[in-house]
Amino acid sequence: MSRTRIKICGLTREADVEAAVAAGADAIGFVFYEKSPRHVSPARAAELARLLPPFVMPVGLFVNAPAALLQAAQEALPQMLVQFHGDESPADCQRAGRPYIRAARMLPGFDLLDFAQQYSSAQALLLDAHVEGYGGGGKVFDWSLIPRNVPSPVVLSGGVHAGNVAQGMLQVRPWAVDVSSGVEQAKGLKDAALIRQFCAAVREADAQIAAEPPQT
């Protein structure tokens, strides 16, 4: 069992980037969606990304973005992993020309296995709550909707925080977890203590999973 990766998303301040790195985050998310309170420009994201040490990945979140914005962000952060959160087709995602994550908005009746087949070129599927507009809105969805045999790595998102992330990990066994509002004092403003608590909860759950007897 490899450890669960941690992504802290929606960072807008230097202190928040430093707090996430210090707590052990594996990836930092920058939101390039102008309607989000966590929105940053490519230039601002590049400033923040300079604080990242080696092996901490910047991730850019896009929602039906024009090609010019995607190109500008890729030029500003050449090492960026792309995360598509809108209505992008498989061809749209592949047109970016680099590894990507595809968000899936979960609700009863949604066929995640068919979705995974359509986006088989994705590095991972990020599972979020289905709400009005785009993004999970800090809402938890019904984790029982996730089938056990998803062929792509799963990133569990949507309303996770230090108090429930272990339960989600034990139930879903995701490859990674993604948090934004669950470590915030206000939208776009992270809380260093909440970030530390979240990362510690993930590691504790990893230890609990590792200690389980092997299945026969």
Distance separating alpha carbons of residues 44 and 128, to the nearest angstrom: 26
Q: What is the DSSP string of 145-159?
A: GS-TT-SS-EEE-SS
**Contact yes or no for 125/96 (Cβ under 8 A):** no
Quote the radius of gyration of the chain (alpha carbons, Å): 16
Among 9, 26, 93, 178, the active-site one is 9
128 flagged as catalytic? yes
What torsion, rounded to 10 degrees, do the Cα atoms 167, 169, 173, 175 define? Answer: 170
67 C-beta neighbours (distance < 10 Å), count: 10
92 flagged as catalytic? no
Distance separating alpha carbons of residues 63 and 212, to the nearest angstrom: 39
Among 93, 128, 178, 199, the active-site one is 128
- Known catalytic residues are 9, 128
